[in-house]
Chain A
């Protein structure tokens, strides 16, 4: 039996395993289905990672490399080409690998499976089904790791960060990026990416627009883009035709939780991830979750921080530390779409509790109000908030003792 099995060797799994090792666990195994560690960071060759975590601007492979090197100095075991098929509530893990079908028993588990991209099927764009329509992340892998150019004239649907990054990347590699089309009246990507990836290269961003038709036989020949009304329905007469051979989709990420659901762990419909306590523990004691499998992050630095918390908590659990489950529940107040964690344990041992959340629209000068059973316990001012930028507040645990409901709300102030 291992002390800790970490499912996934991307940034979340690496940070969780490292933190668990630092906290004293020695029998740790990382199960990774790819043939190398690092996860999605390996294809994110752009820079901007690590400024919080390492106080330095790193590229994705450099950031992953730091953690891989940190783990090389430990005896953490890594099993590559190993796909976890199922985990059970009593912490048995079934894997398929070149060794065949195997079972691992673990005292604790960290779920760090990450997320995957929404595809054309998920957003049901009408039209034919030519090649040349692919997710931005798939195009990123082709271009940055395989050295294959996905096309020469591209339209990008969705202004999520991967789409923006790929607009620049395709442009630098000689493709013409005709437009970036966003359904919402604001971009869901980070501001820095809109500046660096679109404005730098004069790529137009069409807000409140969507793709209404895809044309082509074997290969994509063109797409139709139309403006949408406030109910996100295309407005007839506003159609623009683009002749292009490539349509990249950057239309959202879905936490990957087949294993979590299969184990019967409580899920949060808002995040599509597991419900977690303040120490990243799920509804099954000893099973923790972190990173994009819990909620989609915009900065890997926060994934590392959250995952280190999960790894440390797994070590504490194996060391005999258990919690009462009857603590407070965190709820969405006005304009808040989700919170992580969603629950607190009865006795919180930390002095401070960090809470991540997102807002539902763009806010200028605004105030975040935290109430506990109806009474305001904290407030925070922000100069600017947008749905694409995850918010973080720190609450004092001593103000939360005996509380049953904590609500986080956001409002614009004059």
Chain B
């Protein structure tokens, strides 16, 4: 049994995960929490948010995120890859700015129209 804090949303539910019992999760208040509890012990992943350079927009940086969670161990390598991206305005919110990040199958998308 491992106790962890759920980080799916800011509620921060206290989950108990039972590794002996197929990673059964208790203490969650939503289905997402159950999935998080299982995955956090089996294969921890994180959504990465950062910024990339953009020209011709109101600011010099465009916020981006990974379209899905990537393995926690790849966060720093992912930062290096994303840093190479250069954008020019206009960019739509949700527009893919980098495909298949580090072979994860996950795309990086803009999180703001600029």
Chain A residues at the B interface, C-beta cutoff of 8 Å: 35-36, 42, 45-48, 51-52, 57-62, 65, 143-147, 172-173, 190-192, 194-196, 200, 298-299, 383-384, 389
B111 adjacent to A59 (CB under 8 Å): yes
A46 CB contacts on chain B under 8 angstroms: 49
Q: State which residues 36-74 of B face A: CB under 8 Å.
A: 46-51, 53, 58-61, 63, 65, 72
24 intermolecular pairs with C-beta atoms under 8 Å apart: A45-B49, A45-B50, A46-B49, A51-B10, A57-B9, A59-B111, A61-B93, A61-B112, A65-B93, A65-B111, A144-B61, A145-B60, A146-B59, A146-B61, A147-B61, A172-B50, A172-B75, A172-B76, A173-B50, A191-B7, A192-B7, A196-B7, A383-B27, A389-B12
In the assembled complex, how far is the CB of residue B37 from the closest CB belonging to chain A, in whole angstroms? 12
Contacts of B58 in A (CB 8 A): 35-36
Q: Identify 17 new A-B residue pairs, CB closer than 8 A, beyond the known A45-B49, A48-B9, A146-B59.
A: A36-B58, A42-B112, A45-B65, A47-B47, A51-B8, A57-B8, A59-B49, A65-B93, A65-B112, A144-B61, A145-B61, A146-B60, A147-B53, A147-B61, A191-B7, A195-B4, A196-B7
A408 to chain B, nearest CB (A): 20
The residue that B51 contacts in the complex, of A51, A144, A190, with Cβ under 8 A, is: A144
Expressed in whole angstroms, the Cα–Cα distance for A192 and B58 within the complex equals 32
| Residue pair A47, B65 in contact (C-beta under 8 Å) | yes
Closest Cβ neighbor of B58 among chain A residues: A36
Contact of A200 among B8, B46, B61 (CB under 8 A): B46
Q: Which applies to chain A's interface (DSSP): helix, strand, loop or mixed?
A: mixed
List of A residues within 8 angstroms of B6 by Cβ: 192
Contacts of B111 in A (CB 8 A): 45, 58-59, 61-62, 65
Chain A residues, Cβ within 8 Å of B79: 172-173
Q: Which residues of B contact A299 (CB under 8 A)?
A: 10
B60 adjacent to A191 (CB under 8 Å): no
Q: Any chain A CB within 8 A of the CB of B113? A: yes
A147–B59 CA distance with the chains assembled, in angstroms: 9
**Contact residues in B for A173 (Cβ distance below 8 Å):** 50, 79
> For B47, what are the chain A residues with a Cβ–Cβ distance below 8 Å?
47, 57
Q: Looking across the interface, which residue of chain B has its beta carbon closest to that of A61?
A: B112
Q: How far is the CB of A39 from chain B (nearest CB, A)?
A: 14
Residues 11-52 of B at the A interface (beta carbon under 8 Å)? 12, 14, 27, 46-51
B14/A383 in contact, CB under 8 A: yes
Residues in B with CB closer than 8 Å to A172 are 48, 50, 75-76, 79
Highest count of chain B CB atoms <10 Å: which of A45, A196, A298: A45
A298 x B14 contact (CB < 8 A) = no
**B10: contacting residue among A62, A143, A298, CB under 8 A:** A298
Question: How many Å from the CB of B43 to the closest CB on chain A?
Answer: 15
Q: 3 tightest CB-CB pairs across the interface, nearest first? A: A191-B12, A61-B112, A192-B7
Q: Nearest chain B CB to A165's CB is how many angstroms away?
A: 10
Give every chain B residue within 8 A of A47 (Cβ-Cβ): 47, 49, 65
Please name all residues of chain B whose beta carbon is closer than 8 Å to the beta carbon of A200 when the two chains form the complex.
46, 72
